[in-house]
Amino acid sequence: MSEIFTSYLHSPVGWLKLTTDAKFLLSVTFENESGQISEIIPPVLQKSIEQLEEYFAGTRKDFDIELAPAGTDFQQRIWELVKKVPLGKTASYLDIAKDSGSDKNTRAEGLANGKNPIPIVIPCHRIVGTNGKLTGYAGGLERKRWLLLHEQKFSKSYLLF
């Protein structure tokens, strides 16, 4: 088992706990406060912090970080589809279910999306209800709304939700 490294980032949506191994970003979690950081900060963790800071500053639209989210094969497929939704755009749970091969998978897609261990970087906040309504977000709907409005400011898109 490889060593795990941790750092915290204070962001406009609260504290984010970032965990990596020596090569990959493993998770981003919403926290109420900062915690203990690793004595060693490997390059992937430093890069993750920098890119999230750039995202929140509005200067980064796409992340270029090596990711290793833990999940089932189905969850991995869903997260790959979610990563394709561009900044300033949204897709519905039904859109992602169809792209995964079945329009009957909306419930399974929603559950997989909710298990995303790397929110913001894997932009699960961009997935909305079929009617455009904001639904479900592990970080809370206020964070989801903030992230979508933030992205709208830095894109040429107009979101309807």
Active site residues: 124
150 backbone dihedrals φ, ψ, rounded to 5°: -60, -50
In whole angstroms, give the CA distance from residue 13 to residue 145.
10
Distance, first Cα to last Cα, the chain: 43
In whole angstroms, give the CA distance from residue 107 to residue 7.
33
In whole angstroms, give the CA distance from residue 51 to residue 102.
34
Helix (H) or strand (E) holding 129: none
In whole angstroms, give the CA distance from residue 8 to residue 28.
9
